[in-house]
Structure 1
Amino acid sequence: MSTRRDFIKTAAIAGGAVGTAALGSAHIYAAEPKKIVWRLQTYAGPALAEHVIKPSIDRFNQVAQGQMEIQLYFADQLVPTGELFRAMQRGTIDAVQSDDDSIAAPVDIAVFGGYFPFATRYSLDIPVLFNQYGLNEIWEEAYNEVKGVTWLGAGAWDPCNFATVEPIKSLADLKGKRIFTFPTAGKFLSRFGVVPVTLPWEDVEVAMQTGELDGIAWSGITEDYTVGWANVTKYFLTNNISGAWCGSYFANSDKWNEVPPHLQSLFKLCMDSSNYYRQYWYWGGEASLRVNGDKLKLTTIPDAEWATVENEAHKFWDEIAKTSPRCAKVVEIFKKYNALMTKAGPPYRY
C-alpha cells in the first residue's frame, strides 16, 4: 500500500512537470515571432546596385539577426520599372528604391522625382530641400492620399550629363539625338530637339551598340564607367541639366505596418547609410573620372549658350507650377532656395 501510494504521488508530480514543460514549450513557440521576408526591387542594374543599395541591405540583414530578411532584386528583374508602383501597391513586391517619375507614382509631385531641370546644382541640395525647406512634409502629404504605399524618404544621387557617340559642343548638336533618359527630363530636353527614348535599363548598352540610341542623359560620369556605358560612348558633356537625381524608398503600407518599430528604425538608418555613401562616392567619382578616366572625351557648351537652357528650365518650372497647388508650392520652394544659394555666393553658387 505504501509503495502504491508513493507511485501515485510520484506519477502525479512527474505528470504535472511534463504538463508544465509542454505548456512552457507551447508558450515559447507561440511567442517566437515569424521571420519577415521582403522583396525589394531597385531601379539599378547589378553593377550599379553594388554601390547605391546593396551594402546597406546587406547590413540590414546582418543586424536584423534573422528577424527580417530583405531580398534585393535589380532593375526590371521582377517587374518593369514603369509598373513598380502598382506592383508594390498590390503587394506583388514589398518595397522599391527608385524615383517617383520613373515608377509612374500617381501623385502630382512625381514630376519632381528623378531629374527636375536645374532644381539642384549639387547633391547636398536634395537633403537640405527635404529636411530644411519642407519637401519631407509635402511628399508625406502627397503619398498619404494614395492607398497602399508608404513613402519612406528621399536621397540624392549623381548629376545628369550626356554621354554620346558624337561630340556635343553646341545646342544645335542635340537636335535629332535619340537619348535614353527619364520621363520629365526627356519632356524638357525635347524642347532642344532631343528625341527621348524609353528602354529597359539592361537593354541600353546593346541599344548603343546597334545604333538605336545616340546617347544617354541618365547619370553622371561615375555611372557611365561603373555600368559599362563608357565602353559604348565616346564623349561626355560637362554641362548638366540637374545637379542631383532625387530618388526615394517606398514600401507597401500593409507590409511596412507589420514591421516592428525597432526594425523600421533599422531600415531607415540603413537608408541614411546608403544616402551618405552616395554623397562621397559620386562626388569623388565625378571629379576623378573627368581627370583620370581614359574612355570618354570631355566636351562643353559655352556658358552663354547653356544659359538659354537654364532660362528655358525656369519657364518649364512655371508650367509645372500650374498643374496643381502642391506643385506650385514645390516650385516656389525651389525658387526661394536657389535665390538664397545664389545670394550666398561661392561655394554655394558660382
Structure 2
Amino acid sequence: MKQFLRSGVVAATLAVAGVSGAGVALAETMNVTIVAGHPPVFRWVKHASQTFIPAVNKALEGSGTTIEWSEQYGGSLAKVGEELEAVEEGLAEIGLVSSLFDPAKLAPQNVTYFTPFVVSDSTLVSEWMDKLQSSNADMKAAWEANGLEYLGGAIGIDDYLLMTNFPVKSIADLEGRKIGAPGPAVNWLKGTGAVGVSGNLTTYYNEIKTGVYDGVIVFASAALPGKLHEVAPYITKVGFGAQYAGGFAANKDWFDGLDPAVQQALRDAAEADRIAYHADLDASVSKFLEIMTSQGATVTEVDEGFRAQWAAGMDNVAKVWAEKLDDAGVNGSAVLKDYMDTMRAAGAQPVRNWDQE
C-alpha cells in the first residue's frame, strides 16, 4: 500500500513587519480523488456528487480543512471492477467499490448474490450489510487485506428482474437461451436450462441488440436509464431479491493519516448518502416500471409457485460458495449464517433457507 496524503497547506507566511503568526490556525486544502467505474447516469454514482461530497464539505465548514474534489466516473480512471485497485494503489483516495465485480478480493461481501429469493427490500439489505461490514470479522478483514477502509454508504440494489427479447411464461422457456447476469448472479440460472453469461450494465444494451444475449438479469432502477426495455421488452418480475453491490471505501493508509474530524465527516457522509440514495431508489422503482410499460415493455409478475420452483431447482450455490471460502481460510459458512440470521431477524421470509440445508 502507498502512503500518499496529498494535502496542500494554504496559509503560509504570516510574519510580516513584526506581525507574528503565533496562534493563527493553518488552513488546509486536501486534494481528493473519488472514483467509480459506472457513469453518473446510475443513481449510486449520481449521489456521490449530489449527497456524499456536499455532506463532507458541509461537515468540514469552519474546521479549517477544505477538500478539492476530483470526480472520476464512468471509466475515466477505473473501469467497473477496477475501483478497488485504483484506491488500493493510490490512484484515488476514495472509491465506490463494486464488491460485486471483485468476487475474489471481496468474497464475503458477495454473500447476498449467492442467496437469492431472501428479501426484496433494498433499504433493509443495505442497512444491515453496512452494519455487517464492521460486526462480521471476515467482512471487515476482506477490506483491510486490500488496503481499504470501509466508510459505509451501501449500494443496495432493488429487486432483480429478468428482461428478455422473448416472452417467459414458464421456466422451460429459458431452455438454451443466453442470459447475461452480473458476477455471481450467473448462478441463479443453474437448473433453468438457460446459459448464464457474466456481464455488467455498461455493455448489456449492445450485447442484447447484437444477439450476444437473449436477455439479462437486471434491476428496474438501472434498466430504464440503460434503455434495456428497447432491446429486451419482456420484463418478468421473478423476485430474485434485493442485493448489496458495494459501498464507499478509502485507501487505508491515507484514511489513517487523517484528522479524526475528517474521518468522521467521511463516515457520516457515507451514511447520509445511503439514506438519500435509498429514498430516491424506493421512489423510482415503480415509476420506472410504469415508464418502460408506457414505452412498449410488457411487465409480468410470476406467482409463488413459479418462484418456489425456480429456487428449488437451483443447486445450493450458497453452501458451495461458503464451503469454498472455508477451504480457503475464510469462514464462509459463518458469513452465510450471519447474513441469513440477520435478515430473518429483520423480518425477511426467504423462499429457501440456504444456510439450513
Structure 2 counterpart of 1:245: 244
Structure 1 counterpart of 2:197: 197
Structure 2 counterpart of 1:20: 18
RMSD in angstroms over aligned alpha carbons? 3.1
Would the alpha carbon gap of residues 306 and 271 (structure 1) be closer, same or farther in structure 2, given more than 3 Å must change?
same
Asked if 1:73 corresponds to 2:72, the answer is yes
- Structure 2: segments with no counterpart, 5+ residues: 1-14, 351-357
Which has the higher Rg, Structure 1 or Structure 2? 1
Deviations 1:120-151 (A, max 9, x none): 3312332453467x553215532365052112
Q: Which deviates more from structure 2 when the two are superposed, residues 191-200 or residues 292-301?
A: 191-200
Would the alpha carbon gap of residues 61 and 142 (structure 1) be closer, same or farther in structure 2, given more than 3 Å must change?
closer
Asked if structure 2 preserves the Cα contact closer than 8 Å seen for 1:157 and 1:279, the reply is no
Q: What is the Cα deviation at residue 264 of structure 1?
A: 2.2
Give the Cα–Cα distance (whole angstroms) in 2 for the partners of residues 173 and 209 of structure 1.
Answer: 20
Give the Cα–Cα distance (whole angstroms) in 1 for the partners of residues 109 and 130 of structure 2.
Answer: 18
Asked if structure 1 preserves the Cα contact closer than 8 Å seen for 2:38 and 2:80, the reply is no
SS at match of 2:243: coil
Match of 1:47 among 5, 23, 41: 41
Asked if structure 2 preserves the Cα contact closer than 8 Å seen for 1:167 and 1:235, the reply is yes
Asked if 1:327 corresponds to 2:332, the answer is yes
Q: After the TM superposition, which residues 1-350 of structure 1 pair with which residues of structure 2 at under 5 Å, given as runs?
A: 20-21=18-19, 24=21, 32-49=26-43, 51-60=46-55, 62-63=57-58, 64=60, 67-104=66-103, 106-112=105-111, 116-130=115-129, 134=132, 136-138=134-136, 141-143=140-142, 145-153=144-152, 154-199=154-199, 201-219=201-219, 221-291=220-290, 293-295=293-295, 296-312=297-313, 315-323=316-324, 324=326, 326-340=331-345, 341=347
Percent of pairs identical after alignment?
A: 16
**Which residue identity is paired with 1:232?**
V
Deviations 1:282-308 (A, max 9, x none): 223222334454132112344213202
Would the alpha carbon gap of residues 333 and 120 (structure 1) be closer, same or farther in structure 2, given more than 3 Å must change?
farther
Asked if structure 2 preserves the Cα contact closer than 8 Å seen for 1:89 and 1:149, the reply is yes
Give the Cα–Cα distance (whole angstroms) in 2 for the partners of residues 59 and 258 of structure 1.
Answer: 22
Q: What is the Cα deviation at residue 338 of structure 1?
A: 4.9
User: TM-score of the superposition, structure 2-length normalised?
Assistant: 0.77
User: TM-score of the superposition, structure 1-length normalised?
Assistant: 0.78
**Which residue identity is paired with 1:55?**
Q
Deviations 1:50-102 (A, max 9, x none): 64432114414642457113322223231222332223211122222133131
Would the alpha carbon gap of residues 116 and 68 (structure 1) be closer, same or farther in structure 2, given more than 3 Å must change?
farther
Q: What is the Cα deviation at residue 104 of structure 1?
A: 4.1
- Would you tell me which structure has more helix in proportion to its own residues? 1
- Structure 1: segments with no counterpart, 5+ residues: 1-16, 345-350
Give the Cα–Cα distance (whole angstroms) in 2 for the partners of residues 141 and 321 of structure 1.
Answer: 17
Give the Cα–Cα distance (whole angstroms) in 2 for the partners of residues 114 and 197 of structure 1.
Answer: 15
Deviations 1:204-263 (A, max 9, x none): 3222322222222132x2221133223332111111312233422111112222332222
Asked if structure 2 preserves the Cα contact closer than 8 Å seen for 1:158 and 1:245, the reply is no
Asked if structure 1 preserves the Cα contact closer than 8 Å seen for 2:118 and 2:348, the reply is no
